[in-house]
Amino acid sequence: MPPLSLLVFDWDGTLMDSTGTIAHAIQRAFDDVGLPVPSERDARFVIGYGLAEAMAYLAPGADAAMIARIVDAYRTHYLAQDEALVLFEGVRDYLPRLRDAGYTLAVATGKSRVGLDRALTTTGLGAQFLVTRTADEAFSKPHPAMLEYIVDFADVAPAATLMIGDTTHDLQMAINAGTHSAAMSYGAHPIDDLLPLSPLAHFDRFPDLAEWLLAARA
């Protein structure tokens, strides 16, 4: 394991158990606007993209006005449920321990700034992170801009940075930015799709990731 100092977490499907809610909100949004409803697999695939990019991927050929309608419908369905979403087991307990061990923590997410700030406030986790970056502040994953900004802000080398996520978009962004990655198997994309992107390690539970990182600092 290389020396690591900066841990960059995806949010949905990595820290928060929200992938099913997101996928179902996407499906209901397409139904609302009268377009063919994407499969759950396809809806899960676009998690991590910015909202407009996600809907455009699922509705090729739709014009900007239709994409805006889908996004608005999605937000209505998602916001009706997001207060009930919970963090994955171990997230709340282990993030402070990782900080105390000397890691710098950050978030790179496909959520909007408004959506992420609401989630950080609701969960009380905002103070754990040095910097956060969202899809409306940079190019959507897997473009490296979001991650490159965080690396520069933290003044840490890419080689000392670990991108932690549950989608191929997260892992490909790490490759594009020249950082390492770790794959979480419990989120939006199946582990068989993640492993070909050569993560340093993969985990079925957040506590397993955290203990692996803590052991490296012991």
Which residues are tagged catalytic?
10, 12
96, two tokens: 């402070």
As a residue count, the chain comes to 218
Residue 100 and residue 146: Cα distance in Å, rounded? 25
Exposure of 133 by Cβ count < 10 A (0-12 exposed, 13-18 middle, 19+ buried)?
buried
Q: Which residues have C-beta within 8 Å of that of residue 43, sequence separation ≥ 6?
A: 22, 23, 24, 26, 27, 58
Q: Which of these, 189, 217, 205, lies nearest to 7 by C-alpha position? A: 217
Residue 122 and residue 74: Cα distance in Å, rounded? 20
* Cross-strand bridge partners of residue 202: 183
Beta carbons of 144 and 176 less than 8 angstroms apart: yes
